Amino acid sequence: MDLSSMLDREDFFGLLSSTVEAYFKEAEHAEVTLARQEKHANLVIKPRLSALCPPKISKRAQAFFYSEWNTRGSKLKNLAVKAYVFAMLHTGRLFSSYRFRLEPGCIAGHDLVIAPNNRSIRFFDYKSGTVGCRIKDGFSDKFFKNQLQFRLHHQYDFLLPMERWGEKWFVEPILKGHPLARVTDDAMYRKGVADAFAAVRKLADDTVRRADARAYLRTLTERITALCLAAKEKKHVKMADDTLRLLERIGSIENLLPKELPVAMSHGDLQTGNVWVDPNGKTILYDWETAGERSVWYDSAVLAYALRRPHQWRQFLRSQAEKAYQADRTAKTDRAVPAVVKGVVMLEDILFYLEDMMELPQDWGGDIYDNYLKDLKNAVTEVGIA
């Protein structure tokens, strides 16, 4: 999430200070203060870089920004972006948008990068080779606790082990490499995608069960309906009634349902930004906040059809949903009709967006959901489900 969005939606500087101070107290047992300060600043935010770093930053800490700003596609664009990052990182306090003082000053050092995210703040310490994460003050801890519990109770090669953790924070090793969304080598990108599919297939193999199809569909519909009514009142969502009408249309797949559906533990947000590829080709899935039980088709569909990007639903609805079967071991003998796969994935995705929105404070996230639902509704109107 970029800095401008956080500045628009929240008391960014207040949340930043209180969360930074809480993290160091809880995770590092250090009493610190962080305040905006023009003079004697030891941390700055440069335009478009959206993270705090020292005016004079170490080479190993610079790796954070070069990784974050790696760009797929045009090599010329990637070079231009890297040149911009280089310029911003080598001009000290010059051009900084905001300046801060972290006390005691020794904590700031040259190896620290503080990166605010949607619900949390990450603390990259390149001297120790670790990154800490703490939920922002005032934010719901539901998803944070969900991630913590999942990672504590599951051990896989594609999970990064935590070194230390507490109620609202954890510390893990810093990964080298790039998220899949920023991998420029095509061969490495394809390997990362294949590894991600293999990971969710392994997770599904270990946790799959056969759920009553009609009961599962009814549960999804009821949860969506309840959240829509709450969102209409609390979030002032404009597309709540449209969501309920779309549920009726998706419900037409009930006559096509098999007796049972394969459901299993799911990542929940398997987009290319949450798949990490290191220089040696090892693939890690991270950000398990929304882990939970879903159909075995959901994660594969989100990744294969890029459903987190605008206007991608048309591609999925026009397909035979064949890529959604990546984690479904029953597909060869018990393959559901494409309309069922599409309808179930659609319901699970609507629920994902509604739950995500409802866990944000105040009225945040309503516009994101409205835009998402408009895009989905238009795709269903244009293409249909079958």
Which pLDDT belongs to residue 244? 97
pLDDT higher than 80, residue 137: yes
| CB-count burial class (<10 Å; 0-12, 13-18, 19+) for 226 | exposed
8 and 77 share one domain: yes
146 and 230 share one domain: no
155 and 303 share one domain: no
142 and 13 share one domain: yes
pLDDT above 90 covers a percentage of the chain that reads 86
Mean pLDDT over all residues of the chain? Answer: 94
**Beta strands 260-266; 178-179: pairing state:** unpaired
137 and 189 share one domain: no
277 and 357 share one domain: yes
Mean of the pLDDT values across residues 102-131? 96
Which pLDDT belongs to residue 74? 77
Q: Which residues pair with 161 in a beta bridge?
A: none
Identify the domain boundary among 174, 197, 215: 174
Digit-coded pLDDT (tens) for 358-380:
999 888 899 999 999 999 999 99
pLDDT higher than 90, residue 331: no
Q: What is the rounded CA–CA span in Å between residue 145 and residue 143?
A: 5
Mean of the pLDDT values across residues 21-47? 96
Give the CA-trace dihedral at 217, 362, 366, 120, to 10 degrees: -80
276 and 185 share one domain: yes
Identify the domain boundary among 174, 196, 211: 174
Identify the domain boundary among 125, 158, 174: 174
**Contact status, residue 51 vs residue 114, Cβ threshold 8 Å:** yes
Digit-coded pLDDT (tens) for 229-250:
999 999 989 999 999 999 999 9
Digit-coded pLDDT (tens) for 150-189:
999 999 999 999 999 999 999 999 999 989 999 988 999 9
23 and 131 share one domain: yes
147 and 203 share one domain: no
368 and 251 share one domain: yes
Digit-coded pLDDT (tens) for 48-73:
999 999 999 999 999 999 988 888 77
In the chain, how many domains are there?
A: 2
Domain range for 110: 3-174
Which pLDDT belongs to residue 333? 63
- pTM for the predicted model, two decimal places: 0.94
353 and 316 share one domain: yes
316 and 227 share one domain: yes
Mean of the pLDDT values across residues 96-121? 96
**Contact status, residue 291 vs residue 266, Cβ threshold 8 Å:** yes
